[in-house]
Amino acid sequence: QGVPGTVLVLSLFPPPLSRKPSMPGFFSDVPASPPDPLLSIDGRFRSDTRASKLNLGIGVLRRVDASPHEFATVLKAAKGVPVSTFYPSPAGDQTFLKLSSELVLGEVNPRVMAVQTVGGSGALRVCAELLVSQGITDMMLPNPSWANHKPLLTGGGCRISEYKYLDEDTHTVDIEGMIGALEGAPKGTAIMLQVAAHNPTGVDLTGEQWERVLGVFKRREGEIFPVFDSAYQGLAKGLEEDVAVVRRFLKEGMEFIVCNSHSKNFGLYGERVGSCFVACESAEVAANVSSRCQLRIRWNYSVPPLFGARIVASILGDPSLRKDWEAELAAARDQLNAAHGALAGAIRGAGLPGKLSSPKLGLFSQLFLTDAQVGRLEKDHGIYVGPGGRLNVSSLTEEAAKQVAAAVCDVLK
């Protein structure tokens, strides 16, 4: 009993145990990670007060005023997509998978399994884990390639090597070097192939060159395995043209994997909409592969998000919306082609090496600058670009292109 007139306070929780002064925290020795070379660009750009600054770093489709390229059809379709209140299957939304398959492969084929993934990056991780589970632990990437390919794929268990892709003297595809690398690749090696709008160079194979690549895979069927990365369908030459090589491999009865992203061609970067297609020898094998991919998805992130996938499905499944979306995509592609033309003209006008103005497609052009030169572009000229001088050209006007060319001239002195 307490003393009359006093209040007795009882705590249901014991006081926290105090850590001994000499005892370090569990995470006290965790070192800080270095800033991401691409994602960190935006922060520095925002803090730059120069009116003439240009952000040509992160690979986001932009308009000429540098604002994000939002598709009106996507905004319209999103209003009709309800919030999901129940778990989907680990395979994802089946309507989306059917329509995405038709968009990429031109058909729904029983020997091709499909799962929805967390963007193209999720597809790459599912791909890597599937290959490693089948004893395919080595993968060759084009040199150069997207900066995040290597960490994503090594995180899935792959050992990475590279093959020659670009002719350094002409900035065109080194097709002889590439064919030689494919011919000499060890048995059991997976080969990464970017289907269109190559990241970071913007330099793509021609139809004739793709036929030569297909010929190597046919001769070495069962020895090397093709993996297609399709992140920019519709933004290079066209919706059909940009995946023509994938459909050729399918028609020839080849086994392959496609890691597909809808981030760029629908502007759904934050919704993480992707798909992974595995072409197998039969429908029965495809069903087994699907079950294994779904199990790995379940173990990794459980199930994919539905909202973005259902936006894509609602557009692809509605003839009117699809027509409008295709028109928007064509306009974005025209803008990219105009930007590449403006940059090439400015480069030639500034007297820079001719190889820097070689034909490009898609979002990017690579200038192959040193880290010091990239730093000078940013510090002295307010022009923010990716590692190696990768430029996202989508917002370039003729005047901006001249500004870039003049700055590049200065840092190359």
Q: Tell me which residue of 148, 122, 110 sits closest to 303, measured CA to CA.
A: 122
Catalytic residue among 138, 174, 204, 264: 264
Whether 304 and 63 have beta carbons less than 8 Å apart is answered as no
- CA 263 from centroid of its chain's CA atoms: 8
**Residue 65 annotated in active site:** no
Q: Per-residue b/e over 15-49, b at no fewer than 16 CB within 10 Å?
A: eeeeeeeeeeeeeeeeeeeeeeebeebeeebeeee
Q: 282: how many CB neighbours lie within 10 A of its CB?
A: 10
Task: Please tell me the total number of residues recorded for the chain in this structure.
Answer: 413
Q: Which among 153, 150, 152, 176 is positioned nearest to 164, based on CA atoms?
A: 176
Q: Are strands 273-279 and 256-261 parallel, antiparallel or unpaired?
A: antiparallel
Q: Between the CA of residue 51 and those of 45, 47, 381, what are the distances in Å?
A: 11, 12, 11
Catalytic residue among 210, 229, 242, 402: 229
Reading the block at residue 140, the tokens are 């060759």
Sign of torsion, CA 108 112 115 116?
A: negative
- Is the distance from CB of 312 to CB of 96 less than 8 angstroms? yes
Is 251 a known active-site residue?
no
Exposed/middle/buried for residue 183 (C-beta within 10 Å: 0-12, 13-18, 19+): exposed
Phi/psi at 173 (5° precision)? -65, 130
Is 210 a residue of the active site? no
Which single residue is written with the structure tokens 């399994």? 113
DSSP bridge pairs for 142: 163
Q: Which of 93, 138, 146, 174 is catalytic?
A: 146
Tokens 């993480």 appear where?
272
The catalytic site residues sit at 146, 229, 264
